[in-house]
Amino acid sequence: MGIDRTSKMFVHAIRAISLMSVENWEVKLELFKSLGFSEDDILSIFRRVPLVFSASERKIKAITQLFLSTGKCDISYVVKNPDLLCCSVENKFKPQLRVLEVLESNNLLLKMPSLAPACRITDKKFYEKYVLPYSNEVGELFVVKKAS
């Protein structure tokens, strides 16, 4: 798979492969291809974050489609940020992306943040940076997120 045996990722790659059957591995490869990833993209994702292949097909598909649907990302963005495929769609990405969309549509951000760093920060930091200063505009979105 192109991972150096002395790399820290090698152990994670072995773990990811050992956790699934050959059939499951093939299903994951087909899923990535059906979402528009090339074989080189799939190998790049595996080399960078092998445990992505341990995520469910539903999660991989939902996150990829969510990021592509924003119009701000393409397949190459997901390939460069494969760790995002391991996060929660409902509890992390959807609420945060909704807050960012509201802030952007109301011209409250000087510059729209890159989605990967914005989605990687903790909920507390996200709240402090994007919700608290604009609580009148997005406070309810965050409350809904915390309640669900």
Give whichever of 43-52, 87-96, 128-137 has the largest mean pLDDT: 43-52
Residue 77 and residue 21 share a domain:
yes
Asked whether residue 139 carries a pLDDT value surpassing 70, the answer given is no
The string of pLDDT tens digits covering residues 59-79 is 999 999 988 888 888 999 999
Residue 19 and residue 65 share a domain:
yes
CA gyration radius for the chain? Answer: 17
Residue 65 and residue 47 share a domain:
yes
Considering only residues 141 and 55, tell me which one the structure prediction assigns the higher pLDDT. Answer: 55
Q: How many domains does the chain have?
A: 2
Residue 77 and residue 41 share a domain:
yes
Asked whether residue 146 carries a pLDDT value surpassing 70, the answer given is no
The string of pLDDT tens digits covering residues 12-36 is 888 888 888 999 999 999 999 999 9
Residue 112 and residue 78 share a domain:
no
